[in-house]
Structure 1
Amino acid sequence: MSTTPDFPDPQRAWAYRPAEPLSGAAGGPLSGLTFSVKDLYGVPGWPLTASTRAPVPDPGESVLVRRLLELGASAVGKTHLHEIALGITGMNGYGSTTHPHDPARIPGGSSGGAAVSVALGQADFALGTDTGGSIRVPAAWCGVVGYKPTKGHPDWSTEGVLPLSWTCDHTGPLARDLATIARVQAALTGRQIEAQDWNGVRVGLWLPDGWTDSALHEATLAFAADLKRRGATITPVYLPEMLDAYSPIVLSEAASIHAKALKLDEPGFQPFTLAALRQGAALSDEEVQHAFDRRADYAWLLNGLFTAFDVLLAPAVPTPPPLIGQDEVEVEAGTLPLRRVVLRLTAPFSMLGVPTISLPTSTPYVGVQLVGRHGEDDRLLGLGLAWEAGA
């Protein structure tokens, strides 16, 4: 790894930094912006480790990185992630990434390095990936903004990105403000993002009893009250926990992607990653098919909500950022495993492929999600822009 004196890295956010950035095309709509690249994206001439010591498949060149360079943005380096993106804390085989403002806490994962790079102003925006919350969780815990596009969005290509789960994977950006993300979206799509009036917008509030601590509960209610002041209608809605579908799908697909490394006597994965991959490899075809059947049921439920509501509002995380090594957290329902309480809030919207943005709240290092209908990314971003501008 090369380093530069103006880029100290006590958080261990950076996986690779070239001596000189990859310069974007002159005169493009993104000229003057810099971006970091999560170390799952293939960039010619740059190494790809997926923050693991295990061998990983070569995904080829990232279509999205190449496109952003053509639009004028300059790539400054690659950021660390939770090992192979299979987790939400930021742990990996390279020392693990810490929170940008509190070294005792985690930044969230898997796009933890991406969130740190923008939170500290080391890049204007960051490319992350989101399979179950991996853009939204670190965005919330690091006090920045994240956007997970609709699954299969034509301008947010996953080609040339090392997958974790082809069913649930998304690419997307993080930035210090949504205006930067909207600028990137507009450059990629050729359509300007216009601020959208909240007056008359039907918001379904998903705030399940006991799923968060009091800080997140109050922050989400305060955000809902702010939207109501802007003219939105707020109505509580119900969705169940969906991890019974999400986990078998992701673990089985991840085990398939990393099958070659799993055949080695010493693959090189961290113990927690290796255990999860072996769990996925042990799933039967019937168990995986049952998970896909449950996913179809959940899609039906979500689509039903979107006949009555324009957007959903939900917490992006259950608590403020936990301490490093903390495996359980206190929520209003009691002490529960960290992975479960985080993913049950975010995984439904990646598994079902709907566009989602994570926005900060007035409570430090906690965020909320705004969730839109399939394909209504520009409208969702427009509503977010209006909120950010105070309109």
Structure 2
Amino acid sequence: MKPDSRDPRQAGVWAYVPDQALPGQPGGPLTGLTFSAKDLFGVEGWPLRAGTLAPLPPVEVSPLVSRLLELGATLVGKTHLHEIALGITGDNAFGGTPNPLDSARVTGGSSSGAAASVALGLCDFALGTDTGGSIRIPAAWCGVVGFKPSKGDPLWPTEGVLPLSQTCDHAGPLARDVQTVVRVQEALSGQEIPLQSWKRLRVGLWNPAGWLDNHAEAGLLETAQKVEALGGTLHTVDLPDMLDAYSDIVQSEAATVHAAALALHEPGFSAGTLALLRRGAALETGVVAAARERRERYGALLTEQMSGLDLLLAPAVPTPAPVTGQDSVDIAEGNVLLRVAVLRLTVPFSMLGWPVLTLPSPTVDGLSVGVQLVGRPGDDTRLLGLGHALEARF
């Protein structure tokens, strides 16, 4: 299926499709692969709207996009996202992106079109960004793979990307399988990523009491059984809700990014996005400083919990994708606001910069949840090798 913004099957996926794709240089390691870019990435000669009607600060050409083109991959278009990446459903000024598994449901965000573009077979991999879960959430809900590298990884630069939060922003890929993600990482690094053995690995299992529904918990425990079948051992890990620190940091930094638009009488943001930006702009310096101090404490806690462990297995989402317009979900502890239920599972690892590979887990009714494999900062190659081995075996 070729990219076509007029094709109703591709509704909500494409923010921009050029008359001619940008071809990769022939003979590179990624020759023959196509990719999409979330409409936060600067591409020379292409518009950048970030899913909003508000004016945006200037964005330079993305060195990551340029590097992928040099390596042979062909860029076919730009994908829609949740407005300015500040949300988890995919809503924006131009409408949402229907979930490829069930068009009545959301894809998840903010990398909504990115996940849909690979799930629909419109490209081989997609560039997304992840500040609090924006690669991992739509990957899980659309049944694809997502990779959030370690914070500051030079292979995945965030220069040339419209920022949301300099503290938490990451760039990374989504694809239909781990093998494709590995191929892209190998091309960027120039190093082979071998399959890794799970034998005798000590794996932390984070199964937060009451935070999942039956589908999400079943997906997590099924993956845990696979880990044990490959020779790993499971050890319980307990992490707190870290949303308090995350929300203050990200919303204050986002308000700074969009300060010029916020100074206008009519900024052009949707009501929900504008409310979050206004909140961020109103936060006092001391409040944000206290949030940063809590972030440091959370980082020390995660490091302590992972002492003696090789990696962490965690849920990626609390339920299958909700229907469009749904603002809360039913999980074991009761009915919980969607934003809270989802982000408390993903926020720790982007706020603290640890690498995560998200694997989909199909449900019995044809939808998808997912799990997170979390490595230590800088352990990206090993993490991908473990994920590839898990995929190859099962």
Is TM (by shorter chain) over 0.5? yes
Matches within 5 A, 1:219-230: 219-230=219-230
Match of 1:371 among 363, 369, 374: 374
- Superposed counterparts of 1:108-127, under 5 Å: 108-127=108-127
1:96-148 CA-to-partner distances (Å, cap 9, x unmatched) read: 11111311100000000000000000000000000000000000000000000
Q: SS in structure 1 opposite 2:104?
A: coil
Paired residue type of 2:200: G
Counterpart contact for 2:200–2:231, Cα < 8 Å = yes
Distance (whole Å) between structure 1 residues aligned to residue 219 and residue 10 of structure 2: 30
Residue 90 in 1 paired to residue 90 in 2?
yes
What does 1:80-159 align with in structure 2 at a 5 Å threshold?
A: 80-159=80-159
Q: TM-score, normalised by structure 1?
A: 0.98
Identity of aligned residues (%): 60
After superposition, the C-alpha distances for 1:73-109 in whole angstroms (9 at most, x for unaligned) are: 0000000000000000000000111111311100000
Question: Could you tell me how far 1:10 is from its partner in structure 2?
Answer: 4.1
* Structure 2 partner of 1:67: 67
Match of 1:280? 280
Q: Which residue of 2 aligns with 1:250?
A: 250
TM-score relative to the length of structure 2: 0.97
Deviation, structure 1 residue 362:
4.1
Task: Please say if residues 140 and 370 of structure 2, whose CA atoms lie closer than 8 Å, have aligned partners that are also in contact.
Answer: yes
Cα distance between partner residues in 2 of 1:314 and 1:20: 41
Q: Which residue of 2 aligns with 1:190?
A: 190
Quick one: distance in 2 between partners of 1:58 and 1:119? Answer: 31
Deviation at 1:8, TM superposition (A): 4.8
Q: Secondary structure at the match of 1:146?
A: strand
1:218 aligns with 2:221: no
1:162 corresponds to? 162
The CA distance in 2 between the partners of 1:362 and 1:75, in whole Å, is: 29
Question: Once the 2 structures are TM-superposed, how far is the Cα of residue 306 of structure 1 from its aligned partner?
Answer: 2.7
Deviation at 1:179, TM superposition (A): 0.3
Indicate the SS of the match to 2:36: strand
What is the SS of the residue equivalent to 1:234? Answer: strand
Please state how far the C-alpha of 1:275 moved relative to its aligned partner.
0.3
Aligned residues: 390
2:79 counterpart letter in structure 1: T
Partners of 2:362 and 2:127 in 1: how far apart?
25
CA distance in 1, matches of 2:275, 2:77: 30
Shift of 1:11: 2.9
Are the structure 2 counterparts of residues 5 and 335 from structure 1 closer, same or farther at C-alpha, using a change threshold of 3 Å? closer
Distance 1:107 1:250 in 2: 22
1:11/1:99 contact within 8 Å kept: no
- 2:132 counterpart letter in structure 1: G
> Structure 2 CA distance, aligned partners of 1:4 and 1:86?
26
CA 1:246–1:233: 2 relative to 1, 3 Å:
same
The Cα of 1:313 is off from its aligned counterpart by 0.5
* 1:389 equivalent among 379, 388, 392: 392
Verify the 8 A CA contact 2:211 2:318 in the aligned structure 1.
Answer: yes
- Matches for 1:353-368 after TM superposition, within 5 Å: 353-363=353-363, 364-368=367-371
1:302 aligned partner: 302
Secondary structure class of the residue paired with 2:103: coil
Q: Secondary structure at the match of 1:84?
A: helix
TM-aligned CA deviation for residue 303 of structure 1: 1.3
1:4, distance to aligned residue in structure 2 (A)? 4.2
Over the residues paired in the alignment, what is the CA RMSD in angstroms?
Answer: 1.3
Displacement after TM superposition at 1:305 (Å): 2.5
**CA shift in 2, pair 1:9/1:263, >3 Å:** farther
Unpaired runs of at least 5, structure 2 = none
Q: Which amino acid in structure 2 is aligned with residue 305 of structure 1?
A: Q
Q: Matched residues in 1 for 2:263 and 2:360: separation?
A: 43
8 Å Cα contact 2:141/2:369 also seen in 1: yes
Which secondary structure state, in structure 2, belongs to the residue aligned with residue 308 of structure 1?
A: coil
1:338 aligns to what?
338
For 2:133 and 2:362, how far apart are their aligned partners in 1?
21
- Say if 2:206 and 2:237, in contact at 8 Å, map to a contact too: yes
What's the offset of the Cα at 1:307?
2.2
Distance 1:40 1:387 in 2: 32
- Structure 1: how far apart are the matches of 2:240 and 2:375? 18
Q: CA deviation at 1:360?
A: 1.1
1:21 aligns with 2:21: yes
Distance 1:4 1:224, change over 3 A: closer
SS in 2 for 1:105: strand
Unaligned runs of 5+ in 1: none
Name the amino acid aligned to 1:228.
Answer: E
